[in-house]
Chain A
Amino acid sequence: MNAKDEILQRVRKALADVKETDPALDVPVAWRYEQPTAMDDVIGRFVERVEDYKATVVRVGGSEAEIAQAVVDGLTSIEAKDAILPVGLPAAWRSAVEAAGITILSDEPQLTNDQLNAAGAVVTAARVGAAESGTIMLDHADDQGRRALSLVPDAHICVVRTDQVVSDIPEAVGRLQDSVKQQQPITWISGPSATSDIELSRVEGVHGPRTLYVVVAG
């Protein structure tokens, strides 16, 4: 018997006591999915929680010009000489970055790992923000680029629009359903890369970006 059949046979033998065939009837789950969490100021909570992770957060209005300026401010604050901008980002951001004298690196054709490693920063949009946990979720659509872009460069400037911010994980997971169905990879980011492996003292920055600069727009 092959391994699959044997394991399934073992499982079925082990579960001889389970008579109900419908999992939902056999074990009811008393949980209501996608429930919002009540809070007075969702955006305020999101900002507070992201800042708790030692990320820099700035709030700006929703116009493309304001966002573009915030992105440039972010890049300037870390003295980036160049930055990767995924193809799907608004043209206004690109021209503002260019006007500020920062070289735009294109990922088409794809940059090599070494080029990503040498890049000053990456600028991306986001898909969802979860306020209670302070989590930013990317589904790597065209305005966020492939996964390596937000991973290898040492600084990540991330723009989250206020209409993307929800109360907590349940609502956020609900919003990611479509991306999963389309088999898009998903990355959740809660602050910059960090470790607590040495005497439990938290160190920001190990393998992922050491700087996370979040623009909350709208």
Chain B
Amino acid sequence: MTNETGEIRSTQRTQLNLVTKNNHGTARLTPAPPQGELVDSPLFPDAAKRELANPVQRKNLHHAMSTIRAKRTRVTAELENWEELRSAGEAIKNRVGRHLDDYLVQLEENLTKAGTTVHWARDAKEANEIIVGLVKGKLGPEDLPEVVKVKSMVTQEIDMNEALEANGVAAWETDLAELIVQMGHDRPSHILVPAIHRNRSEVREIFLEEMGNYGKAAPEDLDTEPKNLAAASRAHLREKFMRAHVAISGANFAVAETGTLCVVESEGNGRMCLTLADTLISVVGIEKIVPTFADLEVFLQLLPRSSTAERMNPYTSLWTGPREGDGPQEMHVVLIDNGRTDVLADEVGREALRCIRCSACINVCPVYEKVGGHAYGSVYPGPIGAVLTPQLRSMKNPVDRSLPFASSLCGACNDVCPVKIPLMELLIHERHKAVEAKKQRKSYNVHFEPIAMKATSVMFGNGKLWGAALGAETKVGGKVLGRFFDHIGPIPGPLNRWTGARDVPMVPTQSFRAWWDEREKNNGNKAKGDQK
């Protein structure tokens, strides 16, 4: 078999079905994701409209989110000291954020002491160069050009899979949901349950269609039972785990005091990656630090109960460098900035860096529940995504500037955040920044909304003007248009900014004032009649 460059691959390499048909028509090692970059996604209001038109997704999301919300409320109520735990989590993370330079130096020192090699990356590009270099250095000419990886938000943030793919290495997602997303030529739509927008029959179709292209095929008689779908993924991935030379992980926590890394998961795919490969590369955002091992008693209570709404996730792995005869014998940590220091520089906005990626705010968000994760144009959806994405990406893109407005500001997210991030306040803070960023751009157009509001306020302040306006409106609007329509849709021109996102009710045929006057008149007549 030859790959796209015509190079003859070794016998072992031909075990991989390297050339696959995908939606790009190009030869790839892994299923192609959807075309285009996330930052070039449509603005949130447009993307939201697109997603709202998907009734299957809305149904799946509603079911999932209401189930997980109820469970979360139950398991957090079990702990009498839940509020104290939240405050402790908040304080510990604030301590780390406000002294991050000290803790980073301490972490590096202890990682190194434990035998782990530390790399630093200013941005996504630099991180990917380091990772690609490490992977290529570890894979011999006879090895399959592949790595296994455990679900990691930061590797999605830097688009690592695609960087590896571009360099001839297949990066395999091993979390069931991530595998569904990868095989489905799709993108994750939730940080905890990335394939939550898919239902069981969609998953069955994806597995039947794709698994055989990349390894062990799904059984032909595969049904839609989640148990059997999980078994198909177990069988498909097991051969990859068994032969993996290099594994890639993120980290939920990095302990500065001991150089210990922590990965929290459910399926055991994490343990497989962290245990079976010869080389382990862990990609870690610089905000993931906790000061001491003891601090884990706080976060390993807060995280599972907030995220999967369980008392504890099935598996937590903690490791402090390589250990002879047990697990990977070579370990690397890539510490990534990629915008985090910009977030830190904003004294208000830095509170978002406390996030432990639990997804509680997403699960409780009424906006997310209706539109799903794809509308956000980011790997981080929901309230935290609407805050963090523009912070990390600096509002350079229109989609970033639209995100802080992707909220009804109902405040539910504030109540559930296990580290007390004031998401609502941060959304407002980011809205302000978005407006400022827009003003500074040369292409900035005058907003119609404040002008319209000003004109309306003049009208509201003057009874006669208001009455006249209402009279005109009800005559033209209500009496004429009301015969043909029951509501007003998008209005072209400047009003589109407002009416594009809202249904305006049809103007009544009579103003309230006119109705009141008439009622008074009738009542008066009636009253007079009663007196008689």
Contact = CB atoms under 8 A, between A and B. Distances in A.
Interface stretch (A57-65, A90-98, A185-193): A185-193
B230 interface: yes
Interface residues of A, number: 77
B242 interface: yes
Given A7-B335, A15-B101, A208-B268, A169 B120 contact: no
A186 B323 CA distance: 11
B272 interface: yes
B321 A193 contact: no
Given A6-B122, A200-B64, A151 B99 contact: no
B311 A207 contact: no
B326 A147 contact: yes
Contacts of A100: none
A169 B296 CA distance: 9
A214 B266 CA distance: 18
Interface stretch (B12-20, B171-179, B368-376, B393-401): B171-179
A7 B122 contact: yes
B245 to A, nearest CB: 12
Interface in A1-60: 2-4, 6-8, 10-15, 17-18, 23-24, 26-31, 33-34, 49, 52-53
A218 interface: no
A136 to B, nearest CB: 10
Q: At the interface, is chain B mostly helix, strand, loop or mixed?
A: helix
Nearest to A151: B271
Contact of A208 (B87, B100, B199, B315): B315
B208 interface: no
Given A146-B326, A207-B238, A207-B271, A12 B311 contact: no
A110 B314 CA distance: 26
B267 A194 contact: yes
A198 B195 contact: yes
A207 B267 contact: yes
Given A7-B337, A187-B271, A203-B227, A113 B294 contact: no
A76 interface: no
Contact of B267 (A148, A168, A208): A208
A192 B203 CA distance: 23
Contacts of B94: 27
A187 to B, nearest CB: 6
Given A3-B120, A23-B95, 7 more contacts: A17-B347, A147-B274, A152-B276, A187-B318, A190-B315, A195-B267, A197-B195
Interface of B: 60, 63-64, 67-68, 79, 84, 87-88, 91-92, 94-96, 98-105, 108, 114, 119-122, 126, 174-177, 180, 193-196, 198-200, 203, 226-227, 229-231, 233-234, 237-238, 241-242, 258, 260, 266-269, 271-272, 274-276, 286, 291, 293-294, 296-298, 300-301, 304, 308, 310-321, 323, 325-327, 335, 337, 341-342, 344-345, 347, 350
6 contacts: A2-B120, A13-B341, A113-B241, A197-B180, A198-B199, A207-B267
In the A-B complex, the 8 residue pairs with the smallest Cβ-Cβ separation, listed nearest first, are A208-B268, A207-B268, A14-B345, A10-B341, A197-B177, A188-B316, A31-B88, A206-B267
